[in-house]
Amino acid sequence: MYRPLISGIRKSGSGFSHSRFFLAALFLLSLLVLCLGGCQRKPSAASAQISDVGFFFDTVVELRLNGTDKQDLIDECFRKMGDYEAILSRTREGSDVWKINQSAGEPVEVSDDTAALIELAQKYYELSDGAFDITVAPYVTIWDFPNNTGNVPAKASIAAARIHVGSSLLHLDGNTVTLDDPRSSIDLGGIAKGYVADRLKEFLVGKGVESGYINLGGNMLTIGTKPGDVPWNIGIRRPFGEASDTITTVKVDGLSVVTSGTYERCFEKDGTIYHHILDPASGYPVWNGLSSVTILSESSVDGDALSTSCFVLGLDRGMELVESLDGVEALFITDDEELHYSTGFPRDTDSATSPSSF
Ligand code: ADP
Ligand code: MG
């Protein structure tokens, strides 16, 4: 069960403080959805618009629905997010992921959703040649990015974790999950939000929603267009810029726009940025000259897994992977703010905010 908190914020059972809320709200503001037209109009039945904000998956989430005033649809989405978090969270005691990580090598029965997600994660492990690997969890635990403000772990502890990392240690047979190594563990942080966004969109479309978006902490999944057949105009944040500073924008109609960036969960120590996208081979943050990777795709789980995968693969190999896939486009932004687009990416040629893009 959830309770509305101040200003319509809903919270899940995971750790939450007011300062984190304000930080998160600031972050949400940076996800600039430019509501051209429509926003100022007085609502009528057909032009009704409802939205709400909550806190799940350790991030701020936002839902907007156009053409309906059914608040119960939004309430149901928040309830579903709570249910997904309860099975997919690594830190929530009793979740499927928690059970897998406590299994000490024994097989564990998981829900259909967890099994589906692990199967997809394994697919992306293969597709990315090991760059996307949910068994990075031992490193994730050591680095503890959401809470770490500047503590670089000892080399020896990273090295000790390394032998327990590798998705070849993870097996899925129907709904049964086995980790060969009792000290291995999994973390679905690089893929779960995309999966949940897809399920929420399915639910909403099934209820007749034709326009809106699901924003799970920057994983943006649009439904149709804005009223009047106007595409959504999604801002892509300037890495390390002010919260509202967009480097460019992209117009989409029903697509997912997901970004993985170094600036999202990081700290700086002695001039080095330590961030949350980890190289499975080393256990250290990926330092390859990239600041962010944005993926456009139909399904948000693909976008989520690919944004992390491509970040780890780097500009050349990541771009090669994107170009080999149908229906997927990417924007890679380097540390010096160069913008590299895949061939079919709908570039924003009007934007004065992207002087370095051509
Ligand atoms: P965000 O959580 O900000 O949306 P990502 O989708 O890029 O960012 O996922 C990063 C998260 O995925 C990390 O916080 C960690 O939980 C997990 N992760 C880190 N490195 C990898 C990796 N190489 N493969 C799979 N998951 C990873
Ligand atoms: Mg991801």
CATH code of the domain covering residue 245: 3.10.520.10
Query: Over pLDDT 70: what percentage of the chain?
Result: 85
Question: Distance between the two ends of the chain, CA-based, in angstroms?
Answer: 50
Residue 307: inside a domain: no
Mean pLDDT for the stretch of residues 281-306: 98
pLDDT above 60 (res 277): yes
| Number of structural domains found in the chain | 1
Q: Is 136 in the pocket of ligand 1 (CB under 6 A)?
A: yes
Given a cut of 50, is residue 37 above it in pLDDT? no
Residue 328 lies in a domain: no
Q: Is there a domain that residue 302 lies in?
A: no
Name the average pLDDT for the chain: 88
Find out whether the beta carbon of 140 lies less than 6 Å from any atom of ligand 1. yes
Range of lowest pLDDT (78-82, 283-287, 351-355): 351-355
Q: Which atom of ligand 1 is nearest to the CA of 280?
A: 23
Convert the pLDDT of each residue in 207-233 to its tens digit.
999 999 999 998 999 999 999 999 999
User: Whole-angstrom Cα distance, residue 67 to residue 207?
Assistant: 12
Whether residue 179 is contained in a domain is answered as: yes
Among 320, 264, 304, smallest CA distance to 26 is for 264
In a domain, 249, yes or no: yes
The protein residue with its alpha carbon nearest to ligand 1, atom 14, reads 276
Look at ligand 1, atom 8, and give the residue with the nearest C-alpha: 260
Q: Quick check: is 195 in a domain?
A: yes
Pairing of strands 10-11, 49-56: parallel
Residue range(s) defining the domain that contains residue 127: 17-32+45-284
- Specify the ligand 1 atom closest to the Cα of 304: 6
For residue 309, is it within any domain? no
Q: Which of 172-176, 240-244, 264-268 has the highest mean pLDDT?
A: 172-176
Say if 343 falls within a structural domain: no
Residue carrying structure tokens 């100022």: 40
